[in-house]
A and B are shown apart, each in its own frame.
Chain A
Amino acid sequence: MIDAVWKLESAKIIGSLTRLVGDVGLAEEFAQDALVAAMERWPAEGTPGNPGAWLTAVARRRAIDHIRAERRHDQTHERMAHDLRHDDDTGEQDRDDTLRLMFLSCHPVLPPPARVALTLRLLGGMGNAEIARAFLTGEQVIARRVADAKRALAEHRVGFDLPVADEAAERLASVLEVVYLIFNEGYAAASGDDLMRPGLTLEALRLGGMLAEAAPQSEVLGLLALMEIQASRADARTGPSGEPIPLHEQDRGRWDRLRIRRGFTAMLRARELGGPPGPYLLQAAIAVCHAQAPTAEETDWAQIVSLYELLVRLTPTPVVRLNRAMAVGMARGPRAGLDLTEDLTADPALRNYHLLPAVRADLLLRLGRAEPARREFLRAAALADNAAERAFLARRAAGIPAGEPAGPLLGPAVAEFLAGRTDATARSYGQTLRRLRTALGEQTPLAELTPAETARAVTSAWGGAAPRTWNRHLAALRSFCAWAGRPDLGAELARRAEPAPAIRRGAPVHVWSGTGAAPRELALWWLLHESAAPVTRVLALNVEDLDLDDRRSRTGITWRSRTAALLPALIGDRTRGPLFLSGRRPAPARAPAEGDLCPHTGRRRLSYERAEHLFKQATGHTLSDLKSQD
């Protein structure tokens, strides 16, 4: 009961508290205090007439007490004092607070998973355990994500203001993305055994509704319409045993007319606003086309294709292009659709995307090419993460009688080839050839492979890799192709020049200039650069090992002026313990060795992985590039 009230009211309560205290973490604490008070008092005193207002009032009292206490030591809280005096909540104020809270939860300083977790928690009133269940992860993971997010917001001093005009569009896009991400996580459960987690879908619809109420803009309404219409098919899109049913085979009588109507209403409101349609509105318009067709045969594919053309212009992502190919296949025939998928098979972004081979399989089947279609279905099944979808695709493949194999097949040939190599070679080549097998299909006859297909598969997998990596994979491929009697398969691929190592090492000194890296990172990077010592030894340094005057450590590491200038600030008041510390304290369950724990701050030693990640993120280089200077 308290939980139900909380879920209905949390956005409003936390929103108004955040406006009051200026910090969302603090606001949530006061709200939690109020919840605890409710749990103590409601059972004894009875549920208040207006439970939401009761919770708000209690939480606000706590917040105001807190502010008064703060003000005693800090006279600068004038704004808060002002807010306290002019404290009249209206519906408009509530909507405004909700909107601010959404912008805050979806702030670009947060990584996307944190945005999602924070949004569900603050606006959906979900607990960490609930969020964890919805995302099939541990409660600890979510708790940490939420805590990190709140800290990041505080550290970046993200205020509770609406974004200024020149960043408003980008900030709104982030909010829409988060809402749609939540929707899709529920609607098209990416992994796991169920195809849908309706709780998240519902949550996203509610968030979308709140957002449309607070900011009735064209793209917001477009997203709401899109979600409503997609959700209208929830009951129709899975069969009795949980298998997915494609749109054109769904029983349209089971589509939820109520949701469709709500979607249409949102769509009409968006159209009334005018202006050029954005990506969500276009996707909604496509969904409307489907919803309006009484039967699959009556779908206006020409209209859908023209909407996809517009959408591809705005967001030319591989997935949108794939959907367009599918629509073109319906409007202009399977050949035209299949042609459009050819480019996509070389796109690295789609190399593990099961729907690409699934769409191709459908088109091939309609062209009467049963055997290649069967193989595409098998590949799609191998790539699908979701159990129900995987089973469905495997059944589609099994429904097509296997043709007479024309000679040896790729999968068995690879296995035989690897079996004839030494262990080390098999391991190294195996990496390359496994990828090739997934990309081209286990059961594809060697004789049917073409150099162009092979080139696309290899380019999509390793086109962006360093020349050395590229060449290693190419060597493995060529060795296999020669063995299999198809040396022509590698013909379209050329070795790449490997840059001399010296060139790579010349640059790093400057690679981090202008990255705005934190003082700890700068000290570490300069120390690595100036000392030329191995990364692990540098990270192992302790404060007590350092001789700052002599610019060397007892462990034999020496440095020069840049490092010397940065070290005092890094060390601060510390007298011993790890020199480089991670940003957070370890969880109690994962207490590191004592020597890796700072006696002053309780933080652990910075790990190699983390240091490497930070450097790579900032500069694109690896730490070992730094070491061999001089």
Chain B
Amino acid sequence: MRYLLLSLADENTPAPDERLFAEMGAFIQEMSAKGILLATGGLEPGGLRMTSSGEEVTVTDGPFTEAKEVAVGFALVEVRSEDEVLELARRFRRIVGDGVSEIRRVQ
């Protein structure tokens, strides 16, 4: 089963330091090698938003101030169980520190 993990951040989230980069690098390396981590990446904070309404399509530039937390990174993983994805997320959170992750099963 596959899950998409989104890590969310708000303005209080500290910027990543060197230690975090090193630990995250090792974690990503290990999980990729095991075939668990299929894809991962960071997301730019703002981005674009497209809205369609009837015939009309509008594009807005970010950042979107109404959202307190925004997704700043994602990981697509292939796991054996929900427990396993929780354990992975737990490890991830231990590395990045305070904050929120969303975990969604890919259907």
Give chain B residues whose Cβ lies under 8 Å from the Cβ of A7: 80, 84
Q: Give the Cβ gap from A130 to chain B, nearest Cβ, in Å.
A: 10
Question: How far is A199 from B39 in the complex, measured between Cα atoms in Å?
Answer: 20
Give the bracket for the number of chain A residues in contact with chain B: 20 to 34
Question: How far is A47 from B90 in the complex, measured between Cα atoms in Å?
Answer: 11
Q: Give the Cβ gap from B25 to chain A, nearest Cβ, in Å.
A: 12
User: Do B38 and A258 touch across chains, with their CB atoms under 8 A apart?
Assistant: yes
Contacting A209 at CB < 8 Å: which of B35, B81, B83, B86?
Answer: B35
In the complex, whether A4 has a CB less than 8 A from a CB of chain B is yes
Give chain B residues whose Cβ lies under 8 Å from the Cβ of A585: none
At the interface with chain B, which of A200-208, A417-425, A432-440, A465-473?
A200-208
Give chain A residues whose Cβ lies under 8 Å from the Cβ of B80: 4, 7, 199, 202
Give chain B residues whose Cβ lies under 8 Å from the Cβ of A262: 38
User: Do A49 and B94 touch across chains, with their CB atoms under 8 A apart?
Assistant: yes
Q: Give the Cβ gap from A200 to chain B, nearest Cβ, in Å.
A: 11
User: Do A4 and B35 touch across chains, with their CB atoms under 8 A apart?
Assistant: no
Give chain B residues whose Cβ lies under 8 Å from the Cβ of A498: none
Contacting A4 at CB < 8 Å: which of B38, B39, B76, B81?
Answer: B81
In the complex, whether B33 has a CB less than 8 A from a CB of chain A is yes
**How many chain-B residues does the 8 Å CB contact rule pick out?**
18
Given A206-B36, A209-B33, A213-B33, CB of A3 within 8 Å of CB of B83: yes
Q: Smallest CB-CB separation from B84: which chain A residue?
A: A4
Question: How far is A199 from B80 in the complex, measured between Cα atoms in Å?
Answer: 7
Q: Give the Cβ gap from B39 to chain A, nearest Cβ, in Å.
A: 6
Given A49-B94, A202-B80, A258-B39, CB of A8 within 8 Å of CB of B87: yes
Query: B-facing mask of A1-31, CB < 8 A → 1, else 0?
Result: 1011101100000000000000000000000
In the complex, whether A175 has a CB less than 8 A from a CB of chain B is no
Question: How far is A431 from B76 in the complex, measured between Cα atoms in Å?
Answer: 56
Q: Smallest CB-CB separation from A256: which chain B residue?
A: B38
User: Do B33 and A212 touch across chains, with their CB atoms under 8 A apart?
Assistant: yes
- Can you list 21 A-B contacts with CB-CB less than 8 angstroms, sorted by A residue number? A1-B83, A1-B87, A3-B81, A4-B80, A4-B81, A4-B83, A4-B87, A7-B84, A8-B34, A8-B84, A8-B87, A47-B90, A49-B94, A51-B87, A91-B26, A202-B35, A202-B78, A208-B35, A209-B32, A213-B34, A258-B76
Interface residues of B (CB under 8 A from A): 26, 32-36, 38-39, 76, 78, 80-81, 83-84, 86-87, 90, 94
Interface residues of A (CB under 8 A from B): 1, 3-5, 7-8, 47, 49-51, 91, 199, 202, 205-206, 208-210, 212-213, 258-259, 262
